Structure 1
Amino acid sequence: MTDEKPRDVALASGVRPNGQPIHELWLRITIDRKLNVVDAEASSDWVPYPGLCQASNPAYRALIGLNLLHNFRRDAARLLAGTAGCTHLTELCAILPTAAIQAFAGDVWDTGDKAAGESASSENESADGTAERLNDKPPFQLGRCQALRFDGEAVQKFYPRWYGYAPRPADRPASPDNGAARQEGRGNAPGMLDGSGNEVQSNSQTEGNHA
């Protein structure tokens, strides 16, 4: 996250000249194929209180062991509540599940429309050799937004096999934070990806394996 003002800004710690960020913060996590956080790191390159704001960076190691799909936002908010962390870095946690899904859709989740029984190419096989496209289930992204609703024009045009489909709960992979929360009866929580540990990085944009 980068915060710049188009003018000189008088801070308690001194004047921050036009062109120099008030904040430049990074939150980086490394996850496995099951979306477990195996490493986490925070960095505060520009802050309004130099040498002081950075003291909260180690707190984000607490994200290690959480799962992006199972109550991640709730657990991150609990672990980093109050004065434990930086307000802005903690807010970045909320986008990590979505960033991971967008960065790796097709690698971990099936986003294609190959019918059961059709052969899958090697590039569409998962790391353990399982051809995920052989599952006769709708592509992961369908039924999750207005454009890709099962009775919509986009599904009718691009995924005709699934037009009018009425999914059962068992047919749908868990969305971020929802699956485990419902199973545990706790309600919805206000809230990457391979064996080698690709890195998900939260900043102002998603690029490649970084988010």
Structure 2
Amino acid sequence: MPLPPAAPRKPLHTRRVTCQGYERADGLWDIEGHITDEKHYAFDNEWRGTIQPGQFLHEMWVRLTVDDTLTVRAVEVATDNAPFAHCPAILPNFQRLVGLRIAAGWTSAVKQRLGRTEGCTHLVELLGPVATTAFQTLAPVLSARRRGGAGGPPPVLNTCHVMASDGPVVQRWYPEHYTGPSEEKPEDDGLA
């Protein structure tokens, strides 16, 4: 159900975040994020002159190449539009993500490497949805591979309340990993 109707208003700012996941031919995965900020009015910028509606104040990209363990193997970043001429100067710092694993503590680890003056606020923010997209991209494929092969817990196990190991979804989809109470089935008395 959508939000209820809003009070009369006018648009001032639009931020768009788009993320896509790709399976590569070499067995790795590319996860790309794109962030844009647009004002719905013209304003002056010291570096770029007047920025018109429809022109992006911010337009930035990130590509993380990860392996099956969600470990970052390569990073590409780009700044197409920014409010200051020297914004792109920080882009080399994003190589600090190489070797980092997308897992619990990801956000904290990213901020340790790229927080405050060590990174770009917009690209660091974009890494959150990129990480989620990585998980959403890999989890179903890797889970299907496990079901057809070696086993092991599904990557979604215990990642949210729906995927709790003692919950009904895990009991139905991954019964071998279910940890909740067992339901005793009535004995077959042969009368059915």
Aligned to 2:100: 66
Per chain length, whose mean CA-contact separation is higher, i.e. which structure has more relative contact order (CA < 8 Å, sep 6+)?
Answer: 1
Aligned counterparts of 2:106 and 2:177: Cα–Cα separation in 1: 32
Match of 1:90 among 116, 124, 128: 124
Match of 1:20 among 39, 55, 79: 55
Aligned to 1:48: 83
Larger C-alpha radius of gyration, 1 or 2? 2
Q: CA deviation at 1:70?
A: 5.7
Report the secondary structure of 2:108's partner residue: helix
Match of 2:180 among 138, 156, 166: 166
Task: Write 1 or 2 for the structure with the bigger share of strand.
Answer: 2
Q: CA deviation at 1:12?
A: 3.4
Aligned counterparts of 1:164 and 1:33: Cα–Cα separation in 2: 24
Please tell me whether residue 76 in structure 1 is matched to residue 110 in structure 2.
Answer: yes
1:148–1:81 Cα change, 3 Å: closer
Q: CA deviation at 1:76?
A: 1.5
Contact kept, 8 Å, 1:41 with 1:58, in 2: the verdict is no
One-letter identity of the residue aligned with 1:86: C
Aligned to 2:66: 31
- Please say which of residues 18-27 and 143-152 is displaced more in the overlay: 143-152
Question: What are the residue-to-residue correspondences of 1:175-186 with 2, within 5 Å?
Answer: none
Unaligned ranges ≥5, structure 2? 1-34, 182-192
Report the secondary structure of 2:41's partner residue: coil
One-letter identity of the residue aligned with 1:87: T
Contact kept, 8 Å, 1:141 with 1:148, in 2: the verdict is yes
1:15–1:94 Cα change, 3 Å: same
Aligned counterparts of 1:28 and 1:44: Cα–Cα separation in 2: 12
Please tell me whether residue 141 in structure 1 is matched to residue 159 in structure 2.
Answer: no
Q: CA deviation at 1:142?
A: 5.0
Aligned counterparts of 2:116 and 2:163: Cα–Cα separation in 1: 38
Unaligned ranges ≥5, structure 1? 113-123, 168-211
Aligned to 1:178: none
* Structure 1 vs Structure 2 CA RMSD: 3.0
Aligned to 1:131: 149
Aligned counterparts of 2:174 and 2:123: Cα–Cα separation in 1: 42
Aligned to 2:21: none
